[in-house]
Amino acid sequence: MRTHFDVFGLARAYDVDVPALEKQYRELSLQHHPDRVAPGDAKERLKALEGTTALNEAFKTLKDPVRRAFYLLKLHGVDLEREDAGAQKDMPLEFLEEVMELREALDAAMAKKDLARAQAMGTQVGTQRKAALDEAAGALRHLEAAGTPGEEAAAQVRKASHALGRVRYFTRFLEQVDAFEEESLS
């Protein structure tokens, strides 16, 4: 299977040099975009359309540390983006309780139209999200390093998957804060 890393001729790794990736993206776009193909040539245009679609998808995924982490985990067999993903059920109970409490607190702030309170919670959750992403990144770096034995690899996949599960919850929480912010300002 051709991975997003293959599209850019990169070795699979968590860390990506984003400015270099952006430069390469522009160069590849200049070469392969449908606009570079004569209007009449249907076959070449279709090829350009498919190639550029894959390039755009790869770029979107690799330039963003969160998307990149989810993608790497998927390459290790855990797809957290699927609705039926088992990872949700797999989350530790205390974390789910924590999330419930956060949600209730946010709902209360929203009911009272307390924007300052919601924003403060957003800042706090933002920090937690960053920490969870760092944890996932650590596990993924470990996994991508050569020669990780099978059993330890499984443990690292679990670690990354739990950390990214938290990232997912926190992201949804932040989206809700954002929506509330927009609503209050309009």
Partner 1 sequence: MSKNGYLQIHDPLKPKGHAVGIDLGTTNSLVAAVSQGKPRCVPVDDGDALLLPSVVHYGKDGGVVVGARARPLAAAHPTDTIASVKRFMGRSPDDAETRKLGHYDFVPGGKVVRFNVAGGNPVTPIEVSGEILRALKRRAEAHFSGKVEQAVITVPAYFDDAQRQATKDAGRLAGLEVLRLLNEPTAAALAYGLDKGSQGTFAVYDLGGGTFDISILKLVDGVFEVKSTGGDSALGGDDFDRAIAQRVLEALGETSPAPSLVAEVLAASRKAKEALTDAPEVSLRAGGREHPVKRSDFDAWIQPLVQKTGLVCRRAMKDAGVAAGELDGVILVGGATRVPAVRRYVAELFGREPLGDIDPDQVVALGAAVQADLLTNADRQDEVLLLDVIPLSLGLETMGGITEKLIQRNSTIPTAAAQVFTTFKDGQTGLDVHVVQGERELVDDNRSLARFTLSGIPPLAAGMARVEVRFQVDADGILSVSAKEQSTGATQSITVKPSHGLTEEEIERMLLDSIDYAEDDIQARQVREQRVDAERVLAEADRQLREHGALLQAGEKETIDAAMARVREVAQGQDHLKMKEMLHALDEASRPFIERVMNQAITQVVAGHSVEEY
Question: Which residues contribute to the site for partner 1 (CB under 8 A)?
Answer: 22-23, 26-27, 29-30, 33-36, 39, 49, 52-53, 56-57, 59-60, 182, 185-186
Return contacts of 4-9, CB within 8 angstroms, 24+ apart. 4/57, 4/58, 4/61, 4/62, 4/71, 5/58, 5/62, 7/54, 7/55, 7/58, 8/58, 8/62
**Residue whose CB is less far from partner 1, 49 or 102:** 49
For the CB of residue 56, give the shortest distance to partner 1 in the complex, in Å: 5
In the chain the first and final C-alpha atoms are separated, in Å, by: 47
**Residue whose CB is less far from partner 1, 33 or 142:** 33
**Residue whose CB is less far from partner 1, 27 or 134:** 27
The candidate with the shortest Cα–Cα distance to 27, out of 71, 68, 59, is 59
For the CB of residue 37, give the shortest distance to partner 1 in the complex, in Å: 10
**Residue whose CB is less far from partner 1, 79 or 144:** 79
Q: What angle do CA 128, 64, 150 make, to 5 degrees?
A: 75
Are 27 and 57 a contacting pair, CB within 8 Å?
no
For the CB of residue 122, give the shortest distance to partner 1 in the complex, in Å: 13
For the CB of residue 77, give the shortest distance to partner 1 in the complex, in Å: 17
